[in-house]
Amino acid sequence: MIKSSKLAAAAAATLLVSVNAQAATPKVPDDGYITHYAVNSEILDRWHGGVQGFAAKRNVEAKRGGFLSEMDAKRVNAYVGFDVFRWFTVYGLGGVLNVKNTKAFIPSETTTVWGGGAMFSLLDDDQLDFLDTISRYRLSAGVEASYSDPNDLEWKQYDAWLTFEILNDTYLSDALFPTQIGLFCGPVFSKVDMEGYEQVDDNDWGFEAGMSLRFADGIFVQGAYEWFGDDSVAAFSAGFRF
């Protein structure tokens, strides 16, 4: 009798463990893809990040007195972005900003900078009759706002852009060579407001042109140059997608 009770208890324990194991195991659909984890490859594919560097020459006007000055600004920052929708991305950034007044005998000032922005993928197609040698073309837009630490240096910057890009697949399998090369250009807007100065209005709107390289495993590199009347900006970025 005791032996039978032990067998029954063991069977019940085995059944309970089996039920708990089934409850703790994510359901696997017919395609074999597990969808019930908090983080999986489908979610990671929507994240991307990297580093950016900017070197700019900005002509500004004193808010009192109206005299002109030229600022050399350099910024390095990291950023992380997330694709909310397949056509809409938001991102945040943080880094370091260094500003030097080239017309004043004072040291440059360095401060932290934070900001964020949004990017819009407006058009992506591979059908363009008069550019049949191009793999695909894209039209995108974006906006960004960044702010420095006001305890060090008050610097506010607002940017917007509209970019047309043509891309060509290289069909190279070596990881050292890009799998896709892109050329892009388009109008840009940039407004700087800093402590005691504001940007000259004639330099708000400009034009940019650049090149992008995409490698295997989601790695990309991009360089661009922007013209704003008397101002100019050289930009570089490198990043990855999961």
CB 134 within 8 A of CB 167: yes
Phi, psi of 3 (to 5 degrees): -60, -40
**Distance (Å, rounded) from C-alpha 84 to C-alpha 74?**
30
Alpha helices in 99-199 (DSSP H): none
Q: How many secondary structure helices (H) and strands (E) does the chain include?
A: 2, 11
For the whole model, what pTM was predicted? 0.77
Q: What is the mean pLDDT of each run of 10 residues along the chain (242 residues)?
A: 46 41 41 49 79 94 82 96 94 96 85 96 74 77 94 91 91 74 95 86 91 88 94 94 78
Burial class (CB in 10 A: 0-12, 13-18, 19+), 8: exposed
Q: Find the radius of gyration of the CA atoms of the chain.
A: 27
Residue 239: which residues within 8 A CB-CB, separation 6 or more?
Answer: 48, 49, 50, 51, 79, 219, 220
Residue 102: which residues within 8 A CB-CB, separation 6 or more?
Answer: 69, 70, 71, 72
Residue 117: which residues within 8 A CB-CB, separation 6 or more?
Answer: 90, 91, 93, 142, 143, 144, 145, 159
